Every structure is written in C-alpha cells, then in structure tokens.
Chain A
Amino acid sequence: MKRLELRDLRKSFGALEVLAGISLHVAAGEFVSILGPSGAGKSTLFQLLTGAIRGEGEMRFDGAPLDGARFAFMPQRDALMPWRRIIDNATLGLEVQGMKRSEARERVAPLFAEFGLAGFERAWPAELSGGMRQRAALLRTVVQQRDMLLLDEPFGALDALTRAAMQRWLETIWRSHRWTALLITHDVREAVLLSDRIYVLSERPARIVREVAVPLPRPRTESHELAREAAAIEADILDTLLGRPVPINEHPMENRND
C-alpha cells in the first residue's frame, strides 16, 4: 500500500531549477532512500515535504493530498537544544503537539534503553558523544508517532567509524519497528545497507535517473556473504552516479587478454 506518493514534483529558485520532476512513492513499512550527489536538491525535496517551502507537482499521502504534519523529521546535524536535558530534547515533538511535559517524559523514558541512552536522561547534550547525540535525535524523531520518518543525512556529521556503527544500529532498531521511512543520503553504502528501495538522483536540476530495489534479506550485517552482495549493488549504483570506469584490460593499448 502506497503511503507517500510524489508525482512530477518541481521546484525552482528564480532561474535556478533545483527539482526537475521528481516522482516516487514509499509503501507502508518500507525503508526508501534518495541517493544523490551533494547539492542535487535533496534537502529542497525535504523542505517541500515538511511544508517549509512550496513547489509544483503532486504530493499525496494515503491517496489524499499531503496536508498537516505527517512526518517526523530528523535533520542533518542532531539539532539537539543545548539548554534542554536529553529527556527534554526527546519530548520536544510531543510538547509541540501539546502534550504535558510530565506525560511526555513518561512516554519517552522507557525507550532510552533501546536507544542506548539509559542513564543519560538527565545529561546535557554537550555531555554526549556524536553517536549518542544522533541516537537521541532519532529518539526525539520516532516518539512523535507520525506516519513516516524523514531522515536528512542523519549521520553525515559523524566520523566514519561512528557512522558505520550508527548505520548498523539503525538497521537493527528499524527491523524491530518497521517504521515507514524516507532517508536522504549521499552515502551509497548507507543507502544499500538500510533501504528496501533506492532512488538515484541526477545532479541539479535533479531528476530520478534510476530506481534500485535492494532484495537482500535482513539483518544485513549478519554475514560477509551479504556484505559482498551489497558491495556489488553499491558498485553498480556508483557506476550510475559517476559513470562506468574504463578497466585497464579493456584499454586497446594494453589489451593482453585475447
């Protein structure tokens, strides 16, 4: 069942065309990634979805025109408020929805263990490491209990090792919740590891150049077998994004494989 459906979504800023007709869909319980080069207009797409800006084209949710707050949004950097303790950062979305702070805290507290944040409820964001801050940001995102998660390069600001750990962790936690999720990233490996399907964007003005299904079973960090299959998909997508490299043994001057 399609939940989110975009048809021919376009956006220009003055003469600058950013999105040149984006059509995609996300089904219930599906993890979909939008993969594209930097500056392709990925974040513009998210701003359109969250209603921060307006564009042309059709955005539908569950068949009806997209309206109101359907998404829980996780921005690029964690955007934790330094003046709120972790638990009060986690309750932020619920408070904005009008829930009392005490009630929101009760709702959020049981999730801290699952997010690897047990014992840090009363910590300030400045006391947490980058990975923990991102987990707190995701916690803040999912407790809003919206229909769908929008993740905007959530691990982009982390160092490589922490990012890899966070990707694995997200895959694990996603499997037990099956959130409907749309991830924006320029990290091909991240997209392959996490997604059911991947839309590959062109450079600006962005259009969808390819849709890749990722049929690998989950969990995906279980075996090196799977890692090899994932690597093949990854290489294939990189070819789409960067163009196919010319292998040395296909070079006419050095072709000794006759």
Chain B
Amino acid sequence: MAVWYDPLRGGEGASSRELSTIGESGRDGQSPPQGERLAFTRTFANFFPAALAFALLLTAWELYARFGGIAPTVLPAPSRVLAQAWENRAALADNTLPTIRATLAGFAFSLVAAFILSALVDFLAPLRRALFPLLIASQTLPLVAIAPLVVLWFGFGLLPKILLVALVTFFPMMVALVEGYAATSTEISQLLAAMGAGRWRIFWLARLPSALPYFFAGLRISITYAVVGAIFAEYAGAAKGLGIYMLSAKNNFRPDLVLAAVAVSSALTLVLFGLAVLVQRLAMPWENAKGERAGPGGNRPSGEGRR
C-alpha cells in the first residue's frame, strides 16, 4: 500500500468501526427468531395494559348485571351475551358473511377510487381545487339520513352498501395519498429529472413510494370506519347482514343478541385493522430496518457523532 493510503485508512478508522456495528445489526436481521421473540415481548408489554383494562371493564359489567337487579332484557351480562351468541352462532355467521362481503367490496372500490383520483389530482392541480371542496362536503353528510336514501335509490343489493362504505372510507385515504405525494423529497425529484425521468416516471419511482407511509396511516383510519359503514347500510335496508340482524334483535327485545352482533362487528374491525398493519409491514420492509438501527451505533454519521 502506498504511504498516502495510510492517512486515508486512519481517517476511515471510524468508518471501519461503523462497519462492524452495521455488520452486527445486519446479523440481527438475519436471525429473525431472536428478533421476533423480542418483538413479541414488546408487543405483549404494549397490549397488556389495554387487555387488563378491558378485562376489568367486563368484570365490572358482569357483576353489576348479575347483582344490580337489572333485567337481562335491559342490560344482559357479558356471560349471557356470550352464551346467546354461541347458541345463535349459525344465524350470526349467516349474517356476518354479507357484512364482510359488503365491507370488503366497498373498501376495495374505495381504495381503487382513492388511488386513481389521487393520481389524477397529482397530475392536474386544478382538479384538486375542484374536487376537494366536494370531498370535504361529502364528509359532512349525516350517515343516518343518507343511508336510507341510498338504499331507496339503489335497492337492497350490494351496490348501496358499497357506496356507503366508500363514502366513509374514501376520504381519509384520498387525503393521505395526496399529501403523501406532496411530501416527496424535492432532491429525489430533481435527481430523477436530471437523470431524464419524465413526470410519470417520477410519479411511479418517487411520489408513489413516498406516499406509502401516509397512505397506510389513512388506510388504518379508513378500515375502522368500513365495517360501521356497511352496518349502517344494512340497518337502512338489507335482506341479510349484521345491521339488519341488530335491527331485528332490537325489535324483538333481545339486547343480548344486539350486543353479540356488536361484538362480532368489533372483532371484524380489529381483524381488518390487524391485516392493514400486517400489509403495511410487508409493503414497507425498510421501515422495520430503520427501527432496528435505533439503538446505539444507529444511523449516525461516523466519528464523534456517535456517543
């Protein structure tokens, strides 16, 4: 090695130290069992307080319903709700499937529409000014009033449910996507332009991936509305579904079955939310990499930058 190379190596001493740190974290990445166990412990620690609070609430409710002298036709105990849900599981399942179908169809429609419209708005700025007031106005509509009208116009089939689910889920995703595109780093856009990329190329290579974290934030909000939207639509008129099931249970003075249906719809929402989080993890693996580097020797420049 020539003499001049030594100072370079000397100067890079910090970097080689870094190299070893990075190598270690890279190895961490290659041994998922350990990482997963850690993640599980962390997840457990995160969810334990919530689970405890939930259990306490249920216990208090159970005790009050049993010993408070309340009629089960007014406030059934959780145990009764559970028992009745089991007894009526066939009917519940029969009515849950249409709700799932309506939720997923409506959400898929909403997703595609949000993607297409947001891309159009990104390319045509005037369209944004034309559309956004309308979209915001759409969010002011009271669902209770709109749902029966939509059913009146489009009948008892799947279509009014799709429209109502879309009405409540479209907006958060649309806004998230549009803001996500706008959050693209100007340096990356300029770099691509200097490389000779056109607008569509820049959209595909930079703006769309930049919008992903925003999009998933919007998606997580949307998906919690989706089931509620479908149930509203069914409540306003449907042959089958959790909404209509709740309505008829209420009319038959069966609050236990109403609550059973509520529990099913909550579970449905939680599962969809969990799926959204899972898809986000899979779609953005680099976000996890960022987390792994959060510890000492993280994403710091070399040398004295690190503690």
Could you list which residues of chain A lie within 8 angstroms of chain B, going by C-beta atoms? 47, 50-52, 69, 71, 73, 75-77, 79, 81-83, 92-93, 95-97, 116, 119-120, 123-132, 144, 150, 158-162, 164-165, 168-169, 172, 219-223
Contacts and interface: CB of A to CB of B under 8 A. Distances in A.
Given A79-B191, A131-B12, 14 more contacts: A52-B190, A71-B194, A75-B191, A79-B188, A83-B212, A97-B195, A119-B26, A124-B285, A127-B292, A129-B299, A129-B300, A159-B305, A162-B14, A162-B15
Interface in B1-58: 2-5, 7-8, 11-12, 14-15, 18, 22-23, 25-26
Contacts, number: 141
A13 to B, nearest CB: 16
Interface residues of B, number: 45
A51 B195 CA distance: 11
Contact of B195 (A73, A82, A160): A73
B286 A126 contact: yes
A48 B13 CA distance: 39
B187 A69 contact: no
Contacts of A169: 8, 12
B270 to A, nearest CB: 28
A166 to B, nearest CB: 9
B32 to A, nearest CB: 15
A214 to B, nearest CB: 17
B57 to A, nearest CB: 40
B18 A129 contact: yes
A108 B281 CA distance: 28
Contacts of A52: 190, 193-194
Given A127-B289, A158-B301, A172-B8, A50 B22 contact: no
Contacts of B194: 50-52, 69, 71, 73, 150
Contacts of A150: 194
A161 B302 contact: yes
A129 B5 contact: no
Nearest 6 CB-CB pairings of A with B: A130-B301, A222-B4, A165-B11, A161-B303, A73-B194, A124-B289
Contact of A168 (B7, B23, B196, B209): B7
Nearest to A126: B290
24 contacts: A69-B194, A76-B187, A77-B187, A81-B188, A116-B15, A123-B289, A124-B286, A126-B293, A127-B22, A127-B289, A127-B299, A150-B194, A159-B303, A161-B303, A162-B301, A162-B302, A162-B305, A168-B7, A168-B8, A169-B12, A172-B8, A221-B7, A222-B2, A223-B4
Contacts of B212: 83
Contacts of A125: 286
A16 B304 CA distance: 40
B192 interface: yes
A219 B299 contact: no
User: Which of A51, A127, A158 has the most CB atoms of chain B within a 10 A radius of its CB?
Assistant: A127
